[in-house]
Amino acid sequence: MMNTKIALVFLLALLPFSAVFALEEEVKFNDLIDVMATGGAGVAGYTRFGDAWMNPASKAASDFSEISILQIGAGVGFGFSPLDLFLFTNFFKNGSFSVNSNNLTGSVIQKLIAADPEFSLDGPLCLGWYGKQFSLLLSDELNFGAEPQLSAGLPYVNIGAYFDTTLKGGYAFEIPIPLFLGKFNKVYAGIDVKLIDRFKFDYSRLSLLEAADIGSGLATGENGILNGVGFGSDIGFMMKDEQLAFGLVIRDWFTTPFFWTEYVYTNSGIKATTNQQETTYYLPSMDFGASYHIKNIVNRMLLSDLMLYADVNDIFNFTQNYFLRLRLGAEVTCFTFLKVRIGLMSGYPTCGLGIDIPGLKINATYYTEELGIYPGAQAEQHLQANLQIAI
């Protein structure tokens, strides 16, 4: 009888994943700058601001709290390596765009086509509270990307821009455990709810002339901007002792829907159209992770804390190589305020630095995201930096 109940609970937990393959997935961004520097790992983290958005249960497991006032940040992504970027500077001399045609080999042209430039801006909204079991944060971000493609005829480009305003908050608590778990005498659970207001335009297979004319098309009402509101929730669990912790999180566990309305500019102002828009979704995903915390490695003033992270991302995503979902990372605190971060995400190295002083946080990171279904298929480099005022 007990085994039957366990099987029923397991099947109910997997229910949100059962029919998601027929849904159109909405673009999701993950720019947690302190987390991406440690390989994107942090499901079992509880010492950083970014951990609040990795696992809702971290709010009860953490021993710090803070009020965030604002955040200003920017990022850039590109589909070639930093070495390629350096080599491309040979094409530009004396600040002009004179190109040495002898250097434009087929491989170089392929790399330029695969550049896939992306730009992002964070803030200035980043207002809210984190810690002591509660969190509530209002934030915004802008992302823009262009993806050139070669075809049998003329080349074309895919263009997308997204502006999100997100209100996210939640509650976490300790779960009383009726059985003995050894050193793991602390078990936590948490839930976050989120409201996302998104503006976007997303156009595929535009000719180069159409892409260049996209701005005037928006201004004359020929092209529209979509506005969608999504409501979703994440749930998480964490089990820890003084040093070792394990975490589990189910993101968008009831499939976060976005309902869209198209707006166009007319002579009488901005108006909604009657064009039918298809609902899109953030699909459910499940992540598992572990962390290990070592305090006072040398002494508090020189090397104080070391955090080690290991995650498996999107466990039930069987369309992607399993190696791509492995996240590893480490963060060491030097001189009580300097955070040095390294990691490994999908087989690519990550690194970053953080300065954490009372009232001010400055972070920078470099990481590589694999957009393909196997390692090395479509790597995209990212550089990000931000400044956050928090007390």
Nearest by Cα to 168 from 130, 199, 123: 130
The answer to whether 55 and 39 have CB atoms below 8 angstroms apart is: no
The phi, psi pair for 373, rounded to 5°, reads -100, 0
Q: Which CATH number fits the domain that encloses residue 315?
A: 2.40.160
**Of 45-59, 112-126, 145-159, where does the model show the most confidence?**
45-59
Residue 92 counted as domain residue: no
Beta bridge partners of 69: none
Asked if 121 and 74 count as a contact pair (C-beta separation under 8 A), the reply is yes
Q: Give the SS3 label for residue 32.
A: coil
Region 348-361 average pLDDT: 94
Domain count, the chain: 1
Q: Could you tell me if residue 6 is inside a domain?
A: yes
CB 140 within 8 A of CB 125: yes
Q: What is the pLDDT of residue 367?
A: 93
* Rounded Cα gap, residues 377 and 227, in angstroms: 32
Percent of the chain exceeding pLDDT 70 equals 76
With 50 as the cut, is the pLDDT of residue 139 above it? yes
Residue 87 lies in a domain: no
Which whole number is the average pLDDT over 122-136? 91
Domain assignment present for residue 102? The answer is: no
Contact 78, 117 (CB under 8 A): yes
Poorest-confidence range of 114-123, 214-223, 226-235? 214-223
In a domain, 143, yes or no: yes
Question: What does the pLDDT read at residue 78?
Answer: 79
Within-domain flag for 96: no
The amino acid present at 213, given as its one-letter code, is D
Highest mean pLDDT among 113-127, 224-238, 358-372: 224-238
Q: What is the pTM of this model?
A: 0.83
| Lowest mean pLDDT segment, chosen from 18-22, 151-155, 255-259 | 18-22
d(CA 313, CA 69): 30
Does a structural domain hold residue 98? no
Strand 225-240 with 280-282, pairing: unpaired
Distance of alpha carbon 52 from alpha carbon 46, whole angstroms? 7
Q: Which residues span the domain enclosing 20? A: 2-79+114-390
In a domain, 295, yes or no: yes
pLDDT tens for residues 300-310? 667 788 999 99
Per the omega criterion (within 30 degrees of 0), is the bond before 124 cis?
Answer: yes
**Residue 3 pLDDT > 60:** no
